[in-house]
Structure 1
Amino acid sequence: MSGKLTEIMPGLHAPMTAPLSFRRKAQYQVLCYRRGQRNYVRLKEKGTG
């Protein structure tokens, strides 16, 4: 991927051009995934849905 990345939270990076709403949704999904909750969108191993 070309371009600069910004760190949303430890271990989660996003392109600088990604909309803020997308970043927040990704952060929420990863937090739910790490907590073991089942109400998250299925994430692939690399973190892309």
Structure 2
Amino acid sequence: MADRNAPKKHGKSGDAREERLKAALKANMARRKAQAKARASADDKADKDEG
């Protein structure tokens, strides 16, 4: 219970966590962008095959 009132430490570990989160977000966005590009490419190919 005493830990709830203790101030949170912002220091080197906080910066490291922020850097890890930033890198994970960047990788996630790149992966999503690649997936969207692949889906769009697959849709274009499907449209050309039908028509």
Q: Smaller-chain TM-score range? A: 0.3 to 0.5
**Quick check: which one's helix share is greater?**
2
Tell me the TM-score normalized by structure 2. 0.38
| Structure with greater contact order relative to length (CA < 8 Å, sep ≥ 6) | 1
**Quick check: which one's strand share is greater?**
1
Tell me the TM-score normalized by structure 1. 0.39
